[in-house]
Amino acid sequence: MLEGLSEDEVKSRYRFGRESIHFICNLFEEDLERPKSQNNALTTEEQVLIALRFFASGSFLEIVGDTVGGIPKCTVSRIISRVSAAISKKQNQFIRWPSTGESRQEIKQGFFEKGGFPGVIGCIDGTHIRIQGPSDNENDFVNRKGYHSINVQAVCDHRGMFYKCSVKVSLLSFVC
């Protein structure tokens, strides 16, 4: 799916370069590999690229499926769920609270050096990620602005490394 695309086109479509995409594919190979006996089983790379395209564009499932080779909307939905679960499963390898006084002090010093902010150990922000409304509990995904979304909040350190992430809708909550 990456063949014939320049590095800039890859980054524009997926928000990651080729090298990073290969790293992600290798990381999730065991979680996403489908039995070879299944007809038309999608490769790990195809699944990762479909999910990244959805995450990068925020587009409708059907549009994402059409842009990556005519994949049905229901398949795109299952792939996004599968890749999201794989990401969540690996979260502890990449997201960590500053657990020692030394690491908190390093972050405080980093924020002070960057912006003159004393005593700061994290930046917090949130956003609504637009989604296509689900058929089940559809109203639970409508935000105050009237469109379907999931609410994501994250905390990062002075280097922009995440160490806390929370994804919420009315009935569901996922905390990393």
How do strand 162-168 and strand 149-156 relate by DSSP bridges?
antiparallel
Tens-place pLDDT, residues 85-116: 898 888 888 777 788 999 999 999 999 999 99
Tens-place pLDDT, residues 118-169: 999 999 898 888 888 877 778 878 888 888 888 888 899 999 888 888 876 5
Say whether pTM exceeds 0.75: no
Query: Which residues make beta-bridge pairs with 142?
Result: 148
Long-range contacts of 134-142 (CB under 8 A, 24+ apart): 137/170, 137/171, 140/169, 140/170, 140/171, 140/172, 141/169, 141/170
Percent of the chain with pLDDT over 90: 36
Would you place residue 23 in the very low, low, confident or very high pLDDT band (cuts 50, 70, 90)?
very high
Which residue, 72, 54, 62, is CA-closest to 13? 54
Which segments of the chain are extended strands (E)? 123-130, 149-156, 162-168, 173-175
Domain boundaries along the sequence of the chain = 7-91, 96-175
